[in-house]
């Protein structure tokens, strides 16, 4: 793909937004009730360009918290199934690299032995305009996780802020190239500005060491601060544990199947038939979250299950800091 760089002004960015709105459901960061969220945008001036992070991530659009999968109907000896068709064309507009890279992680996890078509029908249709984040805050550790820049093949257009009114625009796909070319933007040799360094850091060596620290006593101390509310998993862009249930209509010959988000931090998550809960102790659930992200996902998909977005720290009622926990354990 071309390494060409274009200069795009804020007015031209608005023009891009208007064009995309004709073809896509445009989702961008906006302020709602005093907090920053990703939401559908009708007017360009609703967009918060200088945001740091939203509360929920793009998974709420691509992997909704509750989703009907199909309806079923018993007919004599057979069951007739009518699948929902959740396809929708999204343009994810001005998304920071950590969140864009998180989608690449989901792509790997959801395209394993079984392909999650509910996710991919929406994902394949979606367009990504990423906006590099040059500031961050005390909870970001994207640099440590290698997610401060968008990974290869993760975006259609990359925007890099030069100042409040101008951006570099770099195409990352044929679709992105066409968008920029059709806008007849000027080419430029301007370079990217340096981003402010993260103050929160974790070394990959430390992350690797948690594997051999399962019995470390600090797990108990840290888990004691946790109230198992699940906020950290709800806000995480890569946490996608879910439960599946059937709802029957009387006289129990038809119904529908749906799935909804769940969390490994809840004791109910591991309750199985016979009323057995196999991860009853809070410390084991607390540890599992770390081991899943930093050991199991890495071993299976060759990528860490964390992009250092800082949401789990920002939204934790007790400010349990995933980086500080690892630094203490390892």
Site residues for ligand SF4 per CB under 6 A: 226-232, 235-238, 265, 293, 306-312, 316-318, 320, 322
Least CB distance to ligand SF4 at residue 232 (A): 3
Give which of 57, 67, 175 is closest to 116, Cα–Cα. 67
CB of 269 to ligand SF4, least distance (A): 12
Rounded to a whole number of angstroms, the minimum distance from the CB of residue 6 to ligand SF4 is 31
Give 109 or 162: the residue with its C-beta nearer to ligand SF4: 109
Residue placing its CB nearer to ligand SF4 in the complex, 126 or 147: 147
Q: Quote the least distance from Cβ 75 to ligand SF4, whole Å.
A: 44
Residue pointed to by tokens 């509360």: 55
Question: Strand (E) positions, the chain?
Answer: 6-9, 25-32, 35-40, 66-75, 78-83, 90-95, 127-131, 157-161, 166-171, 186-187, 242-249, 254-261, 271-272, 276-277
Smaller CB separation from ligand SF4, 230 or 255: 230
Provide the minimum distance between the beta carbon of 301 and ligand SF4 in the complex, in angstroms, as a whole number. Answer: 14
Report d(CA 110, CA 116) in Å as an integer: 5
CA-nearest of 299, 307, 303, 296 to 145 is: 307
Strand partners, 92: 27, 128
- Whose Cβ is closer to ligand SF4: residue 128's or residue 140's? 140
Nearer to ligand SF4, 142 or 170 (CB): 142
């Amino acid at each position: 793909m071309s390494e060409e760089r274009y200069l795009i002004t804020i007015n031209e960015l608005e023009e891009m937004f208007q064009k995309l709105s004709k073809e896509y459901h445009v989702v961008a960061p906006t302020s709602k009730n005093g907090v920053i969220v990703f939401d559908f945008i009708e007017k360009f001036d609703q967009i918060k360009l200088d945001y740091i992070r939203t509360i929920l991530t793009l998974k709420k659009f691509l992997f909704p918290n509750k989703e009907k999968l199909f309806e079923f109907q018993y007919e004599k000896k057979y069951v007739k199934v009518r699948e929902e068709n959740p396809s929708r064309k999204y343009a994810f507009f001005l998304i920071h690299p950590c969140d864009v890279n998180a989608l690449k992680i989901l792509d790997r996890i959801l395209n394993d032995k079984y392909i999650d078509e509910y996710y991919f029908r929406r994902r394949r249709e979606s367009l990504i305009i990423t906006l590099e984040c040059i500031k961050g805050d005390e909870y970001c550790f994207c640099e440590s996780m290698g997610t401060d820049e968008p990974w290869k093949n993760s975006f259609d257009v990359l925007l890099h802020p030069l100042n409040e009114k101008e951006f570099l625009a770099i195409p990352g796909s044929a679709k992105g190239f066409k968008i920029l070319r059709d806008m007849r933007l000027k080419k430029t040799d301007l370079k990217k500005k340096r981003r402010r360094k993260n103050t929160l850091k974790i070394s990959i060596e430390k992350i690797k060491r948690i594997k051999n620290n399962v019995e470390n006593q600090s797990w108990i101390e840290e888990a004691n601060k946790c109230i198992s509310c699940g906020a950290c998993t709800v806000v995480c862009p890569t946490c996608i544990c879910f439960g599946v249930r059937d709802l029957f209509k009387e006289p129990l010959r038809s119904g529908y199947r749906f799935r909804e988000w769940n969390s490994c931090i809840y004791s109910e998550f591991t309750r199985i038939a016979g009323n057995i809960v196999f991860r009853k102790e809070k410390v084991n659930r607390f540890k599992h979250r770390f081991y899943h992200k930093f050991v199991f996902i890495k071993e299976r998909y060759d990528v860490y299950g964390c992009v250092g977005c800082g949401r789990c720290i920002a939204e934790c009622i007790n400010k349990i800091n995933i980086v500080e926990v690892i630094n203490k354990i390892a």
